[in-house]
Amino acid sequence: LNTSMKGLSVLKLGGSVITDKTTPEAVDTDTLETVVETIGSAVTSGESASTTGHERQTSAERSKKDIGNLNHHSHAEHEGLIIVHGGGSFGHHHAERHNVSTTTGTSDAAAIWEIHDAMRRLNDTVIEALHAVGVPAIPVHPLSVATRDENSTLEIPIDPFSRMLAQGYVPVTHGDIVIDSQSGATILSGDEIVVSVAEGLTADRVGLCSTVSGVYDDDGSVIPKITTYESVADVLGDSETTDVTGGMAGKVRTLLNLEMPAHIFGPTALTEFFAHKQVGTSIQ
């Protein structure tokens, strides 16, 4: 199996974009819908719009039709997309409640289940929203397939992703809790998955759709390009709301380790990201 996907984009939808981080388990339905519509038109090249006039169709029927269309044209119209979403007020709320982080683990099966279950339910919501706009999304749940080894290195199989992509599907995975050989089970950030999957499949580019328009400088302007952590260490503060995986500083560090270009941008720039334009802050 050829694991190099030319033209592949890996897009992370930040947990704070699709959920209301101030309220436990609250989906930000409006933003999710807007973001998903943009993904829908990018992936289906406007085809989903042609079905919106069919009022009698249920959304399931509509998505079936669109998914059929997409399968038929997938290779010509888009070259592959993997979506990874964060935890927002689903994952982070439960992780904090059980005092679990990327380094502090738990061996309590009930805690593991509660954190995973919240993420799985958020993932269901994202998948359903994508189907409603004709995106052939299918889930990949990290807890069942990914682990951390003795050195805390993430091991996530790439084959499910490449085979799903090869058949024209859009794999949708998420931050999760995973079995950790050192400490029971620890939090796996969506950002870590983005890095592993983008590298494993030699993706062309990575996008982090966040609530901010990019990485801000001291004067409030968006820094167009970051090439070293030192150059921005002073301006990167901690995330203000509950985030067990490191906030913006952690994201920048993680993305600097990537071989392909990454962009951090806000939801309004998503269309331009899909149009391959320079958006938000590029990290290279």
Give the interface with ligand IP8 as residue ranges (CB under 6 A). Answer: 15, 86-87, 91-92, 95, 115, 119, 175-177, 187, 189-191, 244-245
Of residues 67 and 187, the one with the C-beta less far from ligand IP8: 187
Q: Which of 192, 173, 202, 200 is nearest to 254 (CA)?
A: 192
We find the least distance from the C-beta atom of residue 64 to ligand IP8, in angstroms, to be: 30
We find the least distance from the C-beta atom of residue 67 to ligand IP8, in angstroms, to be: 27
We find the least distance from the C-beta atom of residue 190 to ligand IP8, in angstroms, to be: 3
We find the least distance from the C-beta atom of residue 94 to ligand IP8, in angstroms, to be: 7
Of residues 69 and 173, the one with the C-beta less far from ligand IP8: 173
* Residue 208 and residue 267 in contact, taking contact as beta carbons nearer than 8 Å: no
Structure tokens at 180: 């950790």
Of residues 70 and 143, the one with the C-beta less far from ligand IP8: 143
192 vs 21, 96, 223, 283, CA distance in Å?
Answer: 20, 19, 23, 15
* Residue 61 and residue 131 in contact, taking contact as beta carbons nearer than 8 Å: no
Of residues 47 and 176, the one with the C-beta less far from ligand IP8: 176
Report helix, strand or coil for 41: helix
Using CA atoms, how far apart are residues 279 and 222, in angstroms rounded to an integer? 10
Residue nearest to ligand IP8 (CB): 175
